[in-house]
A = this chain, B = another copy of it.
C-alpha cells in the first residue's frame, strides 16, 4: 500500500486539505495527516478546525513516505515555506526521487526550500510571478506532472489534483474508479 504524508499547517486551505486526504484514501493510499506544529487541532484558512493524526515530528520519524503533500492557503503555505522540518523532508524526498505534491500557494515551499529547480509547475495565480522569478517553467494547466513533482492551482482543481496523485501512486485504473462516484464535471 503506497503511503503519503499530508502536512497540516495553520491557515491551510481546508478544501484542498480534505480533498488530498479524502481522494488519496479513496485510492487506498495510506495517508498520515501530520500537524506542522504538533498534535493540536489546526485552524484552517476559513476557520475549519482539523485534528492531525499525529505531529510532523512523530510522522517524519516513521518515514520515508512515497509522497509528501503540501496543500495551499497562504497562511499554511507560508508556515511550511518557513519550516526547517519541511525543508529537510522535501530535500530528502527529492534526493530519493520520491513524489512531492503541492497546490495553490503550496509551491512557495519549492522556492524557499530550493526544490524542483527549473521544473514545470503550476500554482495559484497569486504566486505565479514568484515562481517565474525563481526560474521554474510556469504552466497554467490545472494539474502539472513533471517527473515526481505534481502541482495544481486552487480549491477548484483540488479534486482533479487528488485524482492525479492517485493515478501516479496507484495507477490510472484506480484513479478512474475513484473518480466515477465523485460526480466530476
Q: What residues make up the interface of A, taking CB atoms closer than 8 Å to B? A: 13-15, 17-19, 21-22, 25-26, 33, 41, 44-51, 124-126, 142, 153-157, 159, 181-185
Q: Which residue of B lies closest to A162 (CB)?
A: B15
Residue in chain B with minimal CB distance to A33: B48
Cβ-defined contact, A185 with B156, below 8 A? yes
Q: When the two chains form their complex, are residues B159 and A184 in contact, meaning their CB atoms are under 8 A apart?
A: no
Q: Determine the chain B residues whose CB is within 8 A of the CB of A46 once the complex forms.
A: 21-22, 25-26
Complex-state Cα separation, A142 to B184, whole angstroms: 9
Q: Is the CB of A25 within 8 A of B47?
A: yes
Q: Determine if B153 and A183 form an interchain contact, defined as CB atoms under 8 angstroms apart.
A: yes
Task: A21 to B125: give the CA distance in the assembly, Å.
Answer: 23
Give chain B nearest CB distance to A33 CB in angstroms.
7
Q: Which residues of B contact A159 (CB under 8 A)?
A: 15, 155-156
What would be 24 A-B contacts, judged by CB atoms less than 8 Å apart?
A13-B22, A14-B18, A14-B22, A15-B15, A18-B18, A18-B48, A21-B46, A22-B45, A22-B48, A25-B46, A33-B48, A49-B51, A50-B51, A51-B51, A124-B181, A126-B181, A142-B183, A142-B185, A154-B182, A154-B183, A155-B182, A155-B183, A156-B159, A157-B183
Q: Is the CB of B47 within 8 A of A155?
A: no
- Which of B14, B126, B156 lies in contact with A182, CB distance below 8 A? B156
Greatest chain B CB density within 10 A among A19, A22, A41, A49 is at A22
CB distance from A116 to the nearest CB of B (A): 21
Taking CB atoms, residues of chain B closer than 8 Å to A154 are: 181-183
Bound-state Cα–Cα, A125 to B181, Å: 8
Expressed in whole angstroms, the minimum distance between the Cβ of A29 and any Cβ of chain B is 11
Using Cβ atoms and an 8 Å threshold, which residues of chain B touch A47?
21, 25
